[in-house]
């Protein structure tokens, strides 16, 4: 049931925030999905795409090897339980992928983010969101009447950095006239409104990266805020970039 807010009369467009990957199946048939894994999968994907690399998210090592085998000059990137698998070329590192030269297909496997994306297969629309393309993603979501913002989570618990990005996108939808579908969704938006994004640097995910010598990825995420005006779209196999008119332009067009 949609949450009726004071002063709102139209209930046609709505959104929900759910920061647990297990929830993807709940919204796959009814909502456009936006997946968020700030540290680090969705930042990796958006960064690699922006650098000109094709990106193929996968769910298992076996799928990664199979997909890479069907691509020319592919690179394997990712982690499982925080460790780069044997024979993989790169870690799940946006800082590393930002410096990768050439234009290689990248097959990406991660413990949470790419698993969540593959769980979304079958949805009518799947977007990859990060701090880097937050506004562009919000603008694209205005084309859909129902939206689910889903964070990657860890061991059944939401991650603060993913909650923040989901809430900021949700706040833009709220401002455009979308209704939150639950009290919890509204609480998420209001709770993170006006937060300093650098608070992400104190999250458990950031602590883990710091203790494992991956400070460069923390710095990369915190230094790249809403700097890519493009939308990352996942078709169930590959993620591609689409140009965006920007949140304000799309919102104005919908209101006209």
Q: Write out the two tokens for 84.
A: 């780069």
SS (H, E, C) 161-219: HHHHHHHHHHHHHHHCCCEECCHHHHHHHHHHCCCCHHHHHHCHHHHHHHHCCCHHHHH
Would you state the pLDDT for residue 248? 46
Confidence of residue 256 (pLDDT cuts 50, 70, 90): very low
Paired residues of 178 in beta bridges: none
Phi/psi region, residue 236 (left: phi>0; alpha: psi -120 to 50; beta: rest), is left
Would you state the pLDDT for residue 105? 97
Residue-wise pLDDT for 7-47, tens only, equals 444 457 999 999 777 788 899 999 999 999 999 999 999 99
Residue-wise pLDDT for 60-119, tens only, equals 999 999 999 999 999 999 999 999 999 999 999 999 999 998 899 999 999 999 999 999
Name the phi and psi angles at 15, rounded to 5: -145, 155
Confidence of residue 245 (pLDDT cuts 50, 70, 90): low
Q: Does 254 have pLDDT greater than 50? A: no
Sheet strands side by side (includes 32-36): 75-78, 106-109, 55-58, 239-243, 230-234, 126-129, 32-36, 146-151, 14-18, 179-180
For the chain, domains (ranges, CATH) are 14-255 (3.90.1560.10)
> Model-level pTM?
0.90
Whole-angstrom CA distances from 209 to 51, 71, 239 are: 23, 31, 25
Confidence of residue 250 (pLDDT cuts 50, 70, 90): very low
Phi/psi region, residue 134 (left: phi>0; alpha: psi -120 to 50; beta: rest), is alpha
Would you state the pLDDT for residue 135? 97
Would you state the pLDDT for residue 3? 56
């Amino acid at each position: 049931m949609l949450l009726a807010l004071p002063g709102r009369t139209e209930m046609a467009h709505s959104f929900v925030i759910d920061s647990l990957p297990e929830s993807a199946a709940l919204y796959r048939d009814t909502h456009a999905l936006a997946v968020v894994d700030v540290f680090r999968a969705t930042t990796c994907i958006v960064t690699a795409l922006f650098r000109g690399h094709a990106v193929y998210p996968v769910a298992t090592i076996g799928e990664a090897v199979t997909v890479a085998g069907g691509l020319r000059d592919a690179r394997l990137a990712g982690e499982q339980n925080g460790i780069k698998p044997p024979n993989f070329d790169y870690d799940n590192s946006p800082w590393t992928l930002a410096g990768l030269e050439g234009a290689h297909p990248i097959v990406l496997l991660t413990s949470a983010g790419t698993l969540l994306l593959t769980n979304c297969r079958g949805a009518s629309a799947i977007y990859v969101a990060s701090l880097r393309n937050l506004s562009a993603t919000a603008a694209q979501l205005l084309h859909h009447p129902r939206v689910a913002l889903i964070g990657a989570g860890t061991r059944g618990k939401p991650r603060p950095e993913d909650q923040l990005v989901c809430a900021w996108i949700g706040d833009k939808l709220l401002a455009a006239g979308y209704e939150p579908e639950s009290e919890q969704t509204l609480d998420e938006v209001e709770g993170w409104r006006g937060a300093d994004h650098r608070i992400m640097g104190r999250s458990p995910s950031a602590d883990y990266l710091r203790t494992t010598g991956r400070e460069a990825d923390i710095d990369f995420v915190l230094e790249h805020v809403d700097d890519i005006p493009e939308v990352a779209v996942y078709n169930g196999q590959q993620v591609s970039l689409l140009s965006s008119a920007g949140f304000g332009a799309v919102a104005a067009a919908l209101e006209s």
